[in-house]
Amino acid sequence: MNRRLATAVLAVALAAVAIVLPDFVNAYRLFLATLIVVFATAGVGLVVIMGWTGQIALAHVAFMGIGAYGTNWLFSDLGVPWLLSLLLSALAAAVVGVLIGFPAARLRGFYLAIATLAFAELIVRFFVEADTITGGIAGKPIEIIQLFGLDPDRSQWYIALLLAVVVFTATDRLGRTAFGRCLRMVRDAEVATGSLGISATRYKLLAFGLSGFIAALAGGLFGQLLTYVSPDTFHTALLIQFLVVVFVGGVNRLSGAVIGAIFVVVSRELFQDVGDWQRLVFGLSLVLAVRFLPGGLTSLLPRLREMRRLDRQPQEALS
Amino acid sequence: MIQQVIAGLQAGSTYAMLALAVVLILKATDVPNFATADMGLVPTFVGWQLMDSFDLTYWLAIPAAILFGMVLALVIERIAIRPILAESHFATVLMTIGVFVVLSAVIQLIWGSEPRRIDAPFSGNFEVAGNFVTYDQLATIGLGALITAALLWFFKSPWGVRMQAIAEDRVTPRLLGVRVDRVFSISWALAAAIATVAMTLHTQSTVLTDTAGAPLILKAFVAATMGGFGSIIGAFLGGLALGVIENLAGFYIGTGSRAAVAMIFVVLILMAKPEGLFSKARPREV
């Protein structure tokens, strides 16, 4: 009961801080905060496919590209309302995600890494070629939206928050249902799925679709934040940042995406003017996380708690 | 047409050499090495530096670079790879991607992004039946074939047999007195030497830049996929085929298709015949 109350109080306090934040920080800080929220939201998609389902999926940032380009095309060129544009592009990305999932259902380990990298490359190639939609290799300015009659910065912040809350709660709920347990079963005991009447293929396809959907939702907002996107935006450099988001943060937990997003956006900021150092920091943190911290930073707290519990136990037994 | 095929064979031989480096490490240690190209690019830069600031000749600088590459690979294998060898491909894929990022960042930090030229002592071209062949092309294709032959021989030698035995089963060979760690080191050092040769030849016939490695690594994996990852000759033929098809597609269909063809190819192969085009079917592990 106490714990629930504490969580509720914390949630309300966080919401209050989030709502009044634009009045207390300058436009640039607000931009960074929005970027963190968008990165965390996109990270949720990676947690679903890599963390829960255990598939090496390296096409994530290409899905973000589908969201960014698709939303802008529908909204700016075809006059579809912005939120609807975002939703439609996310659905398109989900379909592409399922398509990518088809070979994935048969492939495992690094074969899957190669296939998804190749798909990502093809999608980026498509961004280069489809220049009526994407502006080709030169890129395309993104038409900025202003929802609720707010200035662009605030409007982006509130949309990002809203989207993040929806994505995090929905995914969290989903993770606790039979669906979520089936995904983890595909990861931990794929051999056994067949004998229990669970189709591993079906769940892999759904996981790929869901992760593409989430990536594109975040991608639509990411485009808004960048104000200008080119095919290169959604290439290796961003992919590496997202690998850092989930593997430094912790790939099995949704909170890992938040911690990882803060880590990456702050690192981007600290090493902004020295791009090479930024790359080195991301590379080293990925190497160190894989080597020493397979559960990411979010695994530290439960581990610490466990150690304290083990420390205490003998004394309790004595008394 | 023939000119395109020759250019394709040259590109293909580069893919093939990198694919061989991938297959070698995969066969011995079961690690899919996404850092292969940059493990060859760092020593290539070292070789360029030796020629540029110490006036070493090509024939001294490149062997020194290869040696440097082998030592670098031993260090990487020892500190980054071996501690996580027992884990799944998930961990090793991410680790080698991380190593790739670190290496390419180090190249940028030391040498920057400015393009450089490697002056090879063999330049120019000769004519065969109305077609021009450059000495670079001849060297690349010839060395690709030579390395393939050498690896075929190597896998029949005692060290090669041990390597394959370890890839199959890490426990039994150790019980039989095989120094597993030494076999791992040898495979990484050899792969790095091959990658250095590939990257040197590639950058001297084009241009030496910090980003030369990234586009090649996926091509190397595509070539290895075509060969089915287990087969030396398959990786070589896969690389050549990929290079030729790419060049012909670029020439006859358009430059846009050139970049896409490899990706479409690998997806189709993985879906239809994941064991590769040149190898016999193998039962899947459960």
Scan residues 109-128 of A and list those with Cβ closer than 8 Å to B. 109-111, 113-115, 117-119, 121-122, 125, 128
Closest approach of A37 to chain B, Cα-based (Å): 24
Burial-class residue B148 by CB neighbours within 10 Å (0-12, 13-18, 19+): buried
- Cβ-proximal residues to A78 (8 Å cutoff; 6+ apart), any chain: none
Look at A115 and B97 and tell me if their CB atoms are within 8 Å.
Answer: no
Give the percent of chain A with pLDDT over 70: 96
For an interface test with A, give the residue of B26, B90, B103, B104 to mutate (most A CBs within 10 A): B90
- Show me where the domains of chain B are located: 2-111+133-272
Dist CA A41 CA A218 (whole Å)? 6
Any bridge partners for residue B131, and if so which? B128
Q: Is the dihedral of CA B280, B234, B103, A111 positive or negative?
A: negative
Contact B105 A243 (CB under 8 A): no
- A129 touching B (Cβ < 8 Å): yes
Rounded distance between C-alpha atoms, residue B215 and residue B211, angstroms: 8
Compute the distance between CA of residue B131 and CA of residue B128 in angstroms, rounded to an integer: 5
Q: Please, which residues bridge with residue A229 across strands? A: A140
Q: Which residues of B touch A231 (CB under 8 A)?
A: none
- Among chain A residues, CA nearest to B223: A114
How far is it, in rounded angstroms, from Cα A120 to Cα A204? 18
Alpha-carbon distance B104 to B35, whole Å?
9
* Cβ–Cβ gap B271/A54 under 8 Å: no
**B2-111+133-272 has which CATH code?**
1.10.3470
Q: How many CB pairs under 8 A join A and B?
A: 116
Instruction: Check CB contact of A247 with chain B, cutoff 8 Å.
Output: yes
Chain A residues in contact with B89 (beta carbon < 8 A): 56, 108-110, 113
Check CB contact of B29 with chain A, cutoff 8 Å.
no
If you average pLDDT over every residue of chain A, what do you get? 88
Return the SS3 of A294: coil
pLDDT at residue number B286: 41
pLDDT by residue (tens digit) across B109-157? Answer: 999 888 998 888 877 777 777 778 888 888 889 999 999 999 889 888 8
* B130 torsion bin: left (phi>0), alpha (psi -120 to 50), beta (else): left
Name the 3-class secondary structure at B81: helix
Contact A103 B105 (CB under 8 A): no
Give the pLDDT of residue B125: 77
By C-alpha distance, which of A302, A284, A196, A202 is closest to A244?
Answer: A284
Taking CB atoms and an 8 Å limit, are A191 and B267 in contact across chains?
no
A314 touches chain B (CB under 8 A): no
Helix, strand or coil, per DSSP, at residue B126: strand
Q: What is the mean pLDDT of chain B?
A: 86
- Whether A277 and B105 lie within 8 Å, measured CB to CB: yes
Neighbouring C-beta atoms of residue A152, cutoff 10 Å: 15
- pLDDT per residue as tens, chain A (319 positions): 577 888 888 888 888 888 888 888 888 899 999 999 999 999 999 999 999 998 999 999 999 999 999 999 999 999 999 999 999 999 999 999 998 888 777 777 788 888 899 999 999 999 998 888 888 888 899 988 887 777 888 889 999 999 999 999 999 999 999 888 888 888 887 877 877 877 888 889 999 999 999 999 999 999 999 999 999 899 988 999 999 999 999 888 899 999 999 999 999 888 876 667 888 999 999 999 998 888 888 888 888 888 877 776 655 544 4
Are A229 and A69 within 8 A, CB to CB? yes
Mutation site for A-interface testing, chosen from B267, B271, B273, B275 by largest number of A Cβ within 10 Å: B267
Chain B residue numbers with beta carbons less than 8 Å from the beta carbon of A103 are 267, 270-271
pLDDT at B274 (0 to 100): 66
Q: Cβ of B218 and A114 within 8 Å?
A: yes
Domains in chain A: boundaries: 26-234, 236-319
- pLDDT tens digits, one per residue of B60-116: 999 999 999 999 999 999 999 988 887 888 889 999 999 999 999 999 999 988 899
DSSP structure string for B190-240: HHHHHHHHHHHHHHHHS-B-TTSSHHHHHHHHHHHHHHTTT-HHHHHHHHH
State how far residue B82 is from chain A, nearest Cα, in angstroms. Answer: 10
